[in-house]
Structure 1
Amino acid sequence: MKKITELIRSKFATSVHILSLLVGFPEQWLSSEFIASSLNSNAALVRKELSALREAGLVESKEGKNGGNRLAKPPSQIKMSDIFALVKNDHVFGFSPNEPNPKCPVGARIKGALDGLFTEIDDAILLKLKPVTLEEFVRQYF
């Protein structure tokens, strides 16, 4: 199983890729298969990510033969920080999988100290992403 930090990074990259693709085809309903081909991934993974993006109000979907997915709001109204917050369910940096020894002076206190540091790092990432819209980001390659 992937570590939390790897999941956050890959989910963020996947979500940004999906949303960017939808920006590039604003009038079309894109199928999960089409999106998966751009990601060089499988449609099941794309559908899972689309579900989360839909729940967050960033994507709308239509079923049926002419169905698919498209942005639910203009890319100028989608902040990169919103996408990051959506996929982040833990600190960007993860804790050791082993519980520290509570009898050790370092082991007894390190988790609390790291938690504070990790919170600062997470906040710094959100602050960096907050002013950037999806529209501004996509201008780099569309």
Structure 2
Amino acid sequence: MINGRFATAIHILTLLAREEGDVASSYIAGSININPVLVRKEISVLRDAGFVATQEGKNGGSRLAVRPSKIRLSDLYKIIYREGLFTHSKNMPNQHCAVGRRIGTIMDNLNVEAEQALLKRLHAISIQDLLDKV
């Protein structure tokens, strides 16, 4: 299922790559125009993945833990979409129907091909590439 988390993670990392020092979640939230709680949630995911370092407290914030040129969008994709972006219905089709009996396998193969193509393209793009466009 497509959601805004991927774009949010990219936004956070690109903003952190642009700023010097620790950046407050409220500042990041203002840039994205979302609630700081959602920012902190995504930052914790990015921190657990090793992309972000955080400092708690009044003067705390977040900063990149890795050079922006080392962070590939394919890495972010894998963090956000652990089960894959392309999934099909969990509903079991009618196995007595010729289409229902085969559509799951057909879709699984198509989804794998599409995801591999997407990952290949995303691997070619780093946070530094995005920062250069900003």
TM-score tier after normalising by the smaller chain length:
over 0.9
Alignment partner for residue 33 of structure 2, among 36, 40, 44? 40
Pick one of 117, 124, 128 that aligns with 2:117.
Answer: 124
| Aligned AA (1:18) | I
Q: Provide the C-alpha distance between the structure 2 equivalents of 1:29 and 1:46, rounded to a whole number of angstroms.
A: 14
Q: Secondary structure at the match of 1:139?
A: helix
2-structure distance, mates of 1:109, 1:94: 16
How far does residue 97 in structure 1 lie from its aligned partner after superposition? 5.0
Match of 2:53 in 1: 60
Q: What are the within-5 Å matches in structure 2 for residues 1-142 of structure 1?
A: 4=1, 6-7=2-3, 10-25=4-19, 27-96=20-89, 98-141=91-134
Residue by residue over 1:27-64, the C-alpha shift from the partner in whole angstroms, topping out at 9 and shown as x without a partner, is 22111111111111001111111011000000000011
RMSD (CA atoms): 1.2
Bigger fraction of residues in helix? 2
Give distance in 1, aligned partners of 2:113 and 2:99.
21
What's the offset of the Cα at 1:117? 0.6
Q: How many residues are aligned here?
A: 134
Structure 1 unaligned blocks of 5 or more? none
* Separation of aligned partners in 2, 1:50 and 1:111: 36
- Identity among equivalent positions (%) equals 42
TM-score after normalising by structure 1: 0.88
TM-score for the superposition, normalised by structure 2: 0.93
